[in-house]
Amino acid sequence: MSWLAVALRRPWFKAAIAIVVIIGALAAGAFIYSSRPITVQVATIEENVSVRVFGLGTVEARVLSKIGFEVGATLTELNVDHGDRVTSGQVLARLNIGEQEAKVAKARAALTVAEANIRKGEANLEKAQAVLAQKQAANQRKQALAGRDVVTQQAAEEAVRDEAVAKADAAVAQSEVETTKAQVIDARAQVQFEETMLRHRTLVAPYDALVIERHKELGTVVKAGDPIFTLIAADSYWGLAYIDEARAGFIKEGQRVDARLRSRPQDAFTGRVARIGLESDRVSEERRVYIKGDNPPPRVYLGEQTEFWITVALLDKALLVPEAAVQGYDGLEGRVWTVESGRFQRRLVKFRHRTEDARLEIVEGLPEGARVVSHIESGLREGRSARVIEARTQ
């Protein structure tokens, strides 16, 4: 009897044989299960894909001014209020003008006196010039007579002296005329200054505008520079969108924008990118993008929350894969699973655009005929068999 026959008669040997058979069957089953083809969804080429970037922002005014007086006094007149539309040059408010009117009258009186002094000075100048002409003629005669010993030498010397004195008097009169002319210029400047200060007590609209807020009431003593009204220029509304820097690289002026106001979610508003801020927020890492609307509502509310979708590209054909199906994505490239000749492979590919639903456009790195897995399943490994079904178009 052989040892095998003896062993087969022992219960423990039979149990061991059964265990080995079971383990082998389980291992074979596991191998067959792990090697079975896996069915996965693969991305398909899509046409006319709009690439849009989302941004949250507010309604703002391009031209906003807080206007007030350049001088201080009591507020005596207010002609407009919150919500009123005003035109350029329209009187909005006035200050007490009594004191300033008195200063203007005083300055004008000083100007009148200065102008009278000019006339007086010019008359004195004419008189001095006439006396000078007389003294010059007398001096010439006496000098001629002194040469013929008709008059004494003393009389001739006195004639020279009288001419010199008359010439000095004429010079003094001339300087007095110049002085009074300067005084007139100063008086006119003072009148202009006081009249300007008087005009500063009247507040006018600097442009066609909408009154957003009135800050003061009648009777208030205001200081120079205190804001009386907040104005925004008519039709200068625009949207301010905050865009993540990682998404802002493809934004350009003139691109189409779709917007939705929080207070009017059923209405569709469109516009264009008007300006891109040259400085990003260092804390939130967002870029400011300003949008000019094509069809703004008849009344806007500054600061209202608004959603913006900026169309940065329109792709004729694109292969898009969900970002969740990409490993190691760094903004430029990442690894994806592909199905090539019925088996799984991993490929390093490059991306360009990212859609608002977090899909990435593959532009480089795929061999011909490769299909990109759009939904990662468990058990994927290179070389394993695959069955594909096309993902539904987004």
Concatenated DSSP letters of 285-298: -EEEEEEEESS--S
Distance of CA 383 to the CA centre of its chain: 56
* DSSP one-letter code for 344: E
Nearest C-alpha neighbor of 167 from the set 208, 223, 128: 128
Mean of pLDDT over the chain: 85
Q: Is the pLDDT of residue 296 over 70?
A: yes
Cα atoms found within 13 Å of the Cα of residue 7, Cβ hemisphere only: 8
- SS3 letters for 8-41? HCCHHHHHHHHHHHHHHHHHHHHHHHHCCCEEEE
Give the pLDDT of residue 115.
84
- How far out from the chain centre does Cα 274 lie? 10
Beta bridge partners of 229: 67, 214
Rounded to an integer, what distance in angstroms lies between the CA atom of residue 236 and that of residue 61?
6
Element (H, E) at 128: helix 98-147
> Which pLDDT value is given to residue 27?
59
Q: Residue 116, SS3? A: helix
| Interatomic CA distance for residues 136 and 134, integer angstroms | 5
Rounded mean pLDDT, 359-371: 91
- CA 236 to chain centroid: 12
Q: Which of 16-25, 111-120, 374-383 has the lowest mean pLDDT?
A: 16-25
Average pLDDT rounded to a whole number, residues 36-64: 89
DSSP 391: P
pLDDT in tens, 309-319: 999 999 999 99
- Give the pLDDT confidence of 183-204 residue by residue, as tens digits: 888 888 998 998 888 889 999 9
Work out the pLDDT band at 25, boundaries 50, 70, 90: low
Q: The whole model's pTM is what?
A: 0.69
| Per-residue model confidence (pLDDT) at position 1 | 47
Confidence of residue 300 (pLDDT cuts 50, 70, 90): confident
Whether the CB-CB separation of 352 and 312 falls below 8 Å is answered with no
Task: For residue 181, give every residue at least 6 positions away whose Cβ sits within 8 Å of its Cβ, in sequence order, or none.
Answer: 118
Residue 125 has pLDDT above 50, yes or no: yes
pLDDT at 272 over 80: yes
d(Cα 227, Cα 90) in Å, to the nearest integer? 17
Residue 20: CB atoms within 10 A of its CB come to 10
Give, in order, the Cα–Cα distances in Å from 174 to each of 86, 127, 171, 187, 361: 55, 11, 5, 20, 91
Query: 371: part of which helix (H) or strand (E)?
Result: strand 371-372
Lookup result for tokens 């002085």: 179
**Quick one: angle between helices 98-147 and 153-199, nearest 10?**
170
pLDDT at residue 29 greater than cutoff 60? no
pLDDT band at 116 (very low <50, low <70, confident <90, very high): confident
